[in-house]
Amino acid sequence: MKILVTGGAGFIASHIVDAYIREGHDVTVIDDLSTGNRGNVNKRTRFIELDIRDEALKKVFDESRFDVVNHHAAQINVRTSLANPFLDASVNVLGAVRLLDYAAALGVKRFIFASSGGAIYGEPDHYPISEDRVPQPMSPYAVAKLATEHYIKVFAQLHGFTYVILRYSNVYGPRQIGKSEAGVISIFINEILNDRPCFVNGSGDQVRDYVFVEDVVRANVLALDSASDVFNIGTSVETSVNRLVDELAAVTGRNIRHEHRAAIPGEVFRNSLDYSKISRTLKWRPGVSLAEGLKKTFEHFVSINAVTQKISGS
């Protein structure tokens, strides 16, 4: 299949691109490199540096006639959405609508979207959260993700393509950057490697559901053959930020200094996702434990740090 991956130089999507290439697909990557890294892009792809809001995007669709769009390009930070909701909506809603418009006009058969199960549900009274829970967004970022889901469903109905919406919990792993609060693991590892204290927002009792990027990639591969649907991608395992610090200490063998600071407005306090629907439908389930995933992630950052030090010292 001919697949367009937006945000394909970024943390999650670059791993997805690698998997699609291994599966034998023809992949084009679009990324404006605002948070992505050109070095993450598989050399067997066609890479185009472009903002998804740019009208030049139509030429890309005209030239390639994609079968599938996998949409991961986004403004990724809740705090940025609070400070600048116009920017957030511009990228996360209007950018998505432009993609959908071109996809519909030029015969795309399937649209896969990276939504946020870690943000859109708010704080319901039952955990883990299933897909039938009514979303209660607490930030402009979450509102934009939910609005895009609705746009996708309407465009799919009007234009006859299929869609798969994947609501991620907190994804972590190699290549993650620290430009989003969802990237707390990469932030902490960088601080640990630089012998600096880790800053914990609020009490540290807030709970997250950490899912390893390799498991997320498998869901995106399965999504190529799924009927239209919405799926949670998480582990159902709750881990507090304080517990995460302890887990990292065990993995790294270091005594981690951490300090508390003010909580972030709009940040969900508790989150864990029920993945039973995708387990029943597509036979997906998380395969990497937190301890194993943290070890892989730490080893990746250690290797990158060693290369950086070697270059700077040469």
Position with higher pLDDT, 180 vs 214: 214
Asked whether residue 70 carries a pLDDT value surpassing 70, the answer given is yes
The predicted structure's pLDDT at residue 182: 61
pLDDT at 267: 81
In terms of Cα–Cα distance, which of 67, 1, 65, 60 is closest to 31?
A: 60
Query: How much helix, strand and coil, in percent to the nearest 5, is found in the chain?
Result: 45, 20, 35
In angstroms, the CA 182 to CA 172 distance is 8
Report pLDDT for 306: 63
Residue 179 has pLDDT above 80, yes or no: no
Would you say residue 178 has pLDDT above 80?
no
Q: pLDDT for 104-117, tens place per residue?
A: 999 999 999 999 99
Maximum distance among all Cα pairs of the chain, rounded to whole angstroms: 58
DSSP calls for 252-273: HTS---EEEEPPPTT--SB--B
What is the arithmetic mean of pLDDT over 279-291? 98
On whether the CB atoms of residues 213 and 15 are closer than 8 A, the answer is: yes
| Phi then psi dihedrals of residue 241, to 5 deg | -65, -35
Please choose, from the candidates 58, 55, 53, 56, the residue with its C-alpha nearest in 3D space to the C-alpha of residue 75: 53
Range 176-197 average pLDDT:
84
**What is the mean pLDDT of the segment spanning 23-38?**
96
Q: What is the pLDDT of residue 313?
A: 54
Burial 251-278 (b: 16+ CB within 10 A, else e): bbeeeeebeeeeeeebbbeebbbbbebb
Compute the average pLDDT of residues 123-130. 94
pLDDT at position 257 is 87
């934009």: which residue's tokens? Answer: 144
Q: pLDDT digits over 128-149, tens only? A: 999 999 999 999 999 999 999 9
Lowest-confidence region among 8-17, 53-62, 301-310: 301-310
Q: What is the pLDDT of residue 258?
A: 87
Q: What is the mean pLDDT of the chain?
A: 94
Is CATH 3.40.50.300 the classification given to domain 2-176+211-235+273-288? Answer: no
Q: Please, is 197 exposed, middle or buried when counting C-beta atoms within 10 Å of its C-beta (0-12, 13-18, 19+)?
A: exposed
Q: pLDDT at position 224, please?
A: 98
Catalytic residue numbers? Answer: 141
Residue 292 has pLDDT above 80, yes or no: yes
Task: State residue 304's pLDDT score.
Answer: 82
Name the percent of the chain lying above pLDDT 90.
Answer: 85
Identify the band that residue 311 occupies on the pLDDT scale cut at 50, 70 and 90.
Answer: low
pLDDT at 183: 82
* Of 177, 202, 216, residue with least CA distance to 270: 202
Please state, for a pLDDT cut of 70, what percent of the chain lies above it.
96
Give tens-digit pLDDT for 227-275. Answer: 999 999 999 999 999 999 999 999 999 888 888 988 888 788 999 999 9
Q: What is the pLDDT of residue 180?
A: 58
